Amino acid sequence: MTYFFTVAAPAISDDPQGDPNPLWLFVLFLPAIIWAGVNVYLLSRQGQTLGKKWVGIRIVRPNGQAASLLQLVILRTVVPFMLSTVGGLFTMADIAFIFRENRKCLHDEIAQTIVILAD
Protein backbone atom coordinates (compact mmCIF):
# COMPACT_ATOMS: atom_id res chain seq x y z
CA MET A 1 0.00 0.00 0.00
CA THR A 2 2.85 2.39 0.76
CA TYR A 3 4.22 1.62 -2.69
CA PHE A 4 0.99 2.89 -4.31
CA PHE A 5 1.29 6.29 -2.64
CA THR A 6 4.99 6.52 -3.49
CA VAL A 7 4.25 5.87 -7.15
CA ALA A 8 1.02 7.91 -7.38
CA ALA A 9 2.19 11.04 -5.56
CA PRO A 10 4.60 12.31 -8.26
CA ALA A 11 1.82 12.04 -10.84
CA ILE A 12 -0.03 14.99 -9.27
CA SER A 13 3.01 17.01 -8.27
CA ASP A 14 5.59 18.94 -10.26
CA ASP A 15 7.36 20.02 -7.09
CA PRO A 16 10.17 17.75 -5.83
CA GLN A 17 8.98 18.41 -2.26
CA GLY A 18 5.62 16.87 -3.12
CA ASP A 19 3.42 19.96 -2.88
CA PRO A 20 0.44 19.44 -5.20
CA ASN A 21 0.24 21.50 -8.35
CA PRO A 22 -2.78 23.87 -7.98
CA LEU A 23 -3.88 23.04 -11.54
CA TRP A 24 -4.20 19.34 -10.62
CA LEU A 25 -6.21 20.22 -7.55
CA PHE A 26 -8.53 22.29 -9.73
CA VAL A 27 -8.92 19.43 -12.23
CA LEU A 28 -9.61 16.93 -9.45
CA PHE A 29 -12.25 19.11 -7.80
CA LEU A 30 -13.83 20.54 -10.98
CA PRO A 31 -16.51 17.82 -11.26
CA ALA A 32 -17.53 18.37 -7.62
CA ILE A 33 -17.67 22.13 -8.16
CA ILE A 34 -19.84 21.70 -11.28
CA TRP A 35 -22.11 19.17 -9.50
CA ALA A 36 -22.57 21.51 -6.52
CA GLY A 37 -23.23 24.49 -8.80
CA VAL A 38 -25.87 22.63 -10.83
CA ASN A 39 -27.60 21.39 -7.66
CA VAL A 40 -27.60 24.82 -6.00
CA TYR A 41 -29.01 26.33 -9.21
CA LEU A 42 -31.77 23.70 -9.40
CA LEU A 43 -32.55 24.11 -5.70
CA SER A 44 -32.87 27.88 -6.09
CA ARG A 45 -35.11 27.61 -9.18
CA GLN A 46 -37.17 24.44 -8.63
CA GLY A 47 -36.50 23.18 -5.10
CA GLN A 48 -34.86 20.07 -6.55
CA THR A 49 -31.42 18.52 -6.78
CA LEU A 50 -30.56 16.33 -9.77
CA GLY A 51 -31.54 13.22 -7.78
CA LYS A 52 -34.87 14.69 -6.66
CA LYS A 53 -35.57 15.79 -10.24
CA TRP A 54 -34.93 12.25 -11.53
CA VAL A 55 -37.33 10.67 -9.02
CA GLY A 56 -39.97 13.39 -9.41
CA ILE A 57 -39.93 15.07 -5.98
CA ARG A 58 -39.13 18.55 -4.73
CA ILE A 59 -38.71 20.47 -1.50
CA VAL A 60 -41.19 23.14 -0.38
CA ARG A 61 -42.34 24.86 2.80
CA PRO A 62 -45.27 23.22 4.62
CA ASN A 63 -47.69 25.77 3.09
CA GLY A 64 -46.62 24.70 -0.42
CA GLN A 65 -44.61 27.82 -1.21
CA ALA A 66 -41.04 27.61 -2.47
CA ALA A 67 -38.41 27.20 0.23
CA SER A 68 -35.66 29.79 0.40
CA LEU A 69 -32.12 28.98 -0.64
CA LEU A 70 -31.12 29.46 3.02
CA GLN A 71 -33.55 26.73 4.06
CA LEU A 72 -32.53 24.44 1.21
CA VAL A 73 -28.76 24.72 1.38
CA ILE A 74 -27.78 25.91 4.85
CA LEU A 75 -30.47 24.39 7.07
CA ARG A 76 -31.06 21.13 5.14
CA THR A 77 -27.45 20.44 4.15
CA VAL A 78 -24.75 22.43 5.95
CA VAL A 79 -26.19 22.33 9.50
CA PRO A 80 -26.87 18.55 9.42
CA PHE A 81 -23.40 17.93 7.95
CA MET A 82 -21.75 19.96 10.71
CA LEU A 83 -23.80 18.17 13.37
CA SER A 84 -22.92 14.78 11.89
CA THR A 85 -19.20 15.50 12.14
CA VAL A 86 -19.53 15.71 15.94
CA GLY A 87 -20.76 12.13 16.13
CA GLY A 88 -22.91 9.57 14.42
CA LEU A 89 -25.89 10.07 16.74
CA PHE A 90 -27.31 12.95 14.68
CA THR A 91 -26.99 10.98 11.44
CA MET A 92 -28.73 7.95 12.94
CA ALA A 93 -31.55 10.13 14.32
CA ASP A 94 -31.89 11.95 10.99
CA ILE A 95 -32.32 8.66 9.15
CA ALA A 96 -34.66 7.19 11.79
CA PHE A 97 -37.02 10.18 11.60
CA ILE A 98 -38.19 9.07 8.11
CA PHE A 99 -40.07 6.19 9.75
CA ARG A 100 -42.42 8.51 11.66
CA GLU A 101 -45.99 8.98 10.52
CA ASN A 102 -45.28 12.33 8.80
CA ARG A 103 -42.12 10.86 7.12
CA LYS A 104 -40.09 14.04 7.75
CA CYS A 105 -36.39 13.60 8.42
CA LEU A 106 -34.66 15.62 11.12
CA HIS A 107 -33.11 17.93 8.52
CA ASP A 108 -36.65 18.69 7.27
CA GLU A 109 -37.67 19.59 10.82
CA ILE A 110 -34.65 21.90 11.20
CA ALA A 111 -35.31 23.66 7.87
CA GLN A 112 -39.13 23.57 8.21
CA THR A 113 -39.52 21.95 4.80
CA ILE A 114 -41.39 18.99 3.34
CA VAL A 115 -40.74 16.81 0.30
CA ILE A 116 -43.62 16.50 -2.17
CA LEU A 117 -44.23 15.01 -5.61
CA ALA A 118 -43.15 17.44 -8.33
CA ASP A 119 -45.78 18.90 -10.64
Backbone CA torsion sign across 73, 78, 83, 87: positive
CA–CA distance, 60 with 66 (Å, rounded to integer): 5
**Sequence spans of domains, the chain:** 2-117
pTM: 0.70
CA angle, 94 as apex, 115 and 84 as ends, to 5°? 125
Report how far apart, in Å, the C-alpha atoms of 109 and of each of 19, 26, 51, 79, 104 are. 43, 36, 21, 12, 7
pLDDT value at residue 5: 45
Per residue in 29-85, pLDDT tens?
899 999 999 999 999 999 999 999 999 999 999 999 999 999 999 999 899 999 888
Per residue in 4-21, pLDDT tens?
444 444 455 555 666 667
Exposed / middle / buried, residue 72 (Cβ in 10 Å: 0-12, 13-18, 19+): buried
Residue 106 has pLDDT above 90, yes or no: yes
Closest CA to 76 of 52, 53, 94: 94
